Structure 1
Amino acid sequence: MNVELQKADHSQAVKIWEILQKAIQRRKAEGSNQWQDGYPNLDIIKTDIEKEQGFVLIDGEDILGYCALILNDEPAYAEIEGKWLSDDDFVVFHRVAIDDGHLGKGLAKKMISLIEEYTLENNIYSVKADTNFDNMAMLKIFKNLGYTYCGEVYFRGGARKAFEKVLSKTSINI
């Protein structure tokens, strides 16, 4: 497998939405309330793509996963109950989802490593993210990749665990 992270385009929106719908169903089956309130949805994906914030994890022509990458713009993060590790520029990632047919291959971890590379390529040294308190898979990935728990942030009325990783040129684990 030769996976890459690249900006999504509008022709990929339907496939991305299929991947996210299955991820939403998985979260529900796991008993989680994350992503059970109409978010994310196809309009969000289209907006991500229009703003050039939507990214696909691909292997050749196959879309394996999706995420949104946002530079220095996450209003909820300014209201953290806790403290970030840094106040410098940052990349935040949201809406991480891997296609059902490719689960269990370490692709979410690979995607986040590629996000870290993208961050460094843009001369930014901080990656921030959040997840629901019951998203055990993502919590495990954060731990395994060296992310630090910084506190809680709030989205759509619910608390999320917030994490940050401060990067150096030697911190990428691919």
Structure 2
Amino acid sequence: MNYHFRKATIAEIPQIWEILQSAILRRKSEGSNQWQDGYPNPEVIQKDIEEGTGFVLTDGDAIIGYSAVLINDEPAYAEIKGKWLTNNDFVVVHRVAISEQYIGKGLAKIILEFIEAYARSKDIYSIKADTNFDNLAMMKTFEKSGYTYCGEVYFRGSPRKAYEKILAKAA
């Protein structure tokens, strides 16, 4: 496969929103309440892109995944019930979603690998993320990718499992 990870453009919002809508429906069909409250939505995606934090995973010309990637920008993480592994600069991963046709191919893990490379390119060696308590697929992806469970954070009144991965510095 010919995967690339790059900043998204405003023109790509319709394809990104289609991927997120499928993910929202998939979460609902799995009995999850994650993403069932009108978030994320096209305005959130547009804001991500305008702020330079919206990224797409592509296979050739096709957009097959989406994620928001922020640096040191998640106020909720300051209020963790638990303890982060580090207190240095960090990259935040939000809104990971994979196209319906590509589910089950390990692409969330590939997105995380691209984000690790992005973090290293910015001389940042910590990645923090969170997911809903019932998002078993994402929790498994974090665990397989070497993330450590650090505690709980709260978004819009709901607890979420918080994870961190410390990246090795290049030799």
Distance 1:104 1:151 in 2: 27
Aligned residues: 170
**Amino acid paired to 1:76:** A
State the Cα deviation string for residues 17-45 of structure 1 (Å, max 9, x = none): 00000000000000000000000000000
Deviating 4+ runs (over 4 angstroms): none
**RMSD of aligned alpha carbons:** 0.7
Q: Deviations over 1:59-102 (max 9, x none)?
A: 22110100000100100000000100000000001000000011
SS at match of 1:143: helix
2:96 maps to 96
* Cα distance in 2 for residues equivalent to 1:4 and 1:87: 30
Partner of 2:105: 105
**Other structure's SS at 1:105 match:** coil
Identity percentage of aligned residues: 62
2:133 aligned partner: 133
Other-structure match for 1:116: 116
> How far apart, CA to CA, are the structure 2 residues paired with 1:3 and 1:42?
24
Q: Which position in structure 1 is the counterpart of 2:31?
A: 31
Supply the distance in 1 between the matched residues of 2:101 and 2:8 (Cα, whole angstroms). Answer: 20
Q: What is the letter of the counterpart of residue 166 of structure 1?
A: I
* Runs of 5+ consecutive residues of structure 2 not aligned to the other structure: none
Paired with 1:15 and 1:151, the residues of 2 have a C-alpha distance of 34
Q: Could you tell me how far 1:169 is from its partner in structure 2?
A: 3.4
TM-score, normalised with respect to structure 1 = 0.96
What's 1:19 paired with?
A: 19
